[in-house]
Amino acid sequence: MARAAIIGGGVIGGGWAARFLLNGWDVRVFDPDPEAQRKIGEVLDNARRSLPGLSDLPLPDEGTLSFHDDLAEAVEGAEWIQESVPERLDLKLKVYAQIQAACEEGAIIGSSTSGFKPSELQEGSDRPGQIVVTHPFNPVYLLPLIELVTTGANEAALIDRAKGLLSSLGLFPLHVKKEIDAHIADRFLEAVWREALWLVKDGIATTEEVDEAIRMGFGIRWAQMGLFETYRVAGGEAGMRHFMAQFGPALKWPWTKLMDVPEFTDELVDLIADQSDAQSGMHSIRELERIRDNNLVAMMRALKAQDWGAGAVLNAHDAGRKRDAMPDIETADLAQPILTLARAVPLDWTDYNGHMTESRYLDAFAGATDRFMEIIGCDADYIASGGSYFTAETHIRHLGECHAGARISVRTQMLLGQGKKLHLFHSMYEGEELIATCESFLLHVSLETRRPCAPSQEIEDSMARIAAAQSGLEYPQGAGSSIRKPVPMAE
């Protein structure tokens, strides 16, 4: 079993511990803070809840976590030692001396420092080549970027081993080959931070307005395409050269407090344009736009699920449109199957065959069920009061293909709505074509006891009203069916 030692168990150290532990490593922690065990335990609770959801495969069996009062004991036999002590160079150098006096010579010592250069951390060390910067981003157990910063003292074999170990943990080691204060990412963050402070100080924007400007716009673009590739697309078919020709002169304009910028020369344009070609030239602008759009849709839909940032804006927009587009019990034609869902198929609902994946049919039909529940009065307020419907059985028939961008609708017939029982039959259409059906049987339950019980009188009355209106409908084809037992092939 691989072993890691964590020196310093704060927010970052705890995140490192979680990343190693949940990837099957044994983890030893040294931190004199008497609250370290509690703090790391809380970080681990969050990591156990979230990290497994990033993978389509099960994570390895969790390693063993132990806490040690003696630093030498913690680093004994460790293959990887991660230092995350406070940002004081004198303290870090003292800790490295203690670590190297006790650890194996082949162990990698990584520092979480956000600012110090590795040459500063290696100063005075008997084995400087053992020490590298491995700067993470919080939460370490979710965000993949690790800035691996090295010097000439670090042998190529150690650097390759560091990259391999970090990659095996699901991390993205970005090798920074030329050291600089604050590495790469934090220099961007510092520049934005300084400009934001000026905007707030000068009364141009509030802290909330600054945050909205980032998370509603370029922050999402940067998350999936970075800086240069974003600007390459902004240049249109002419690419990076056109963008720089169009916006390069703005570097001399007083748009920002950060006016110490490189001279805008032909050589600089060529350098950046050539690097951009090497980075992204294998894709046309149209291809990059499609890649960008796919990524943006997926990320923003993820934000919708959390009702956060740009996702909250989309949810609010949907809610307003839903009131106008979707009938309620007073406006619906109850004598016909009721419209319970109308939408386009999102980009991230399609699978390797190019059509809507099986789980998304259930997702769509579940949305239709939720809407029917709202129609009969089982809405958010009712559920908050302690009652709801639980699905007991579902049967889906796939009758036709459905592709990304297709406009689909679901119409719902109530086969039974009485007492605690609710029996629904959903029909999904693309235009006039029936492409799938879903039969669902639900039970009304008390959320306090989690057991079936009768619904409110208002819900009973709504179901009786729909039952009377739909009494003349034929029993839908496919209702009550199941998967047929296969007929044995003739020998």
- How many alpha carbons lie under 13 Å from residue 276 in its C-beta half-sphere? 27
> Sheet harboring 26-30: ordered strands across?
65-68, 26-30, 3-7, 80-83, 108-111, 131-135, 145-149, 172-176
> Which structure tokens are listed for 329?
């019990």
Residue 376, annotated as binding a ligand: no
Residue 386, annotated as binding a ligand: no
DSSP states along 211-256: HHHIIIIIHHHHHHHTTHHHHHHHTGGGHHHHHHHHHGGGGGSSSS
SS3 174: strand
Residue 13, annotated as binding a ligand: yes
Q: What angle do CA 203, 205, 206 make, to 5 degrees?
A: 100
In the chain, the amino acid numbered 422 is L
Q: How many other C-beta atoms are found inside a 10 Å radius of the C-beta of residue 325?
A: 11
Residue 10, annotated as binding a ligand: yes
Q: What angle do CA 55, 59, 61 make, to 5 degrees?
A: 170
Alpha-carbon torsion 458, 460, 463, 469, what sign?
negative
> Which structure tokens are listed for 207?
């802290």
Residue 124, annotated as binding a ligand: no
Distance CA 243, CA 438 (A): 51
Nearest to 108 by CA among 135, 89, 88, 127: 127
Q: What angle do CA 335, 338, 341 make, to 5 degrees?
A: 170
Nearest to 136 by CA among 126, 148, 150, 127: 148
To which H or E segment does residue 68 belong? strand 65-68
Residue 217, annotated as binding a ligand: no
> Which structure tokens are listed for 488?
């044995």
Annotated binding site for NAD(+): 8-13
Binding-site annotation: residue ranges: 8-13
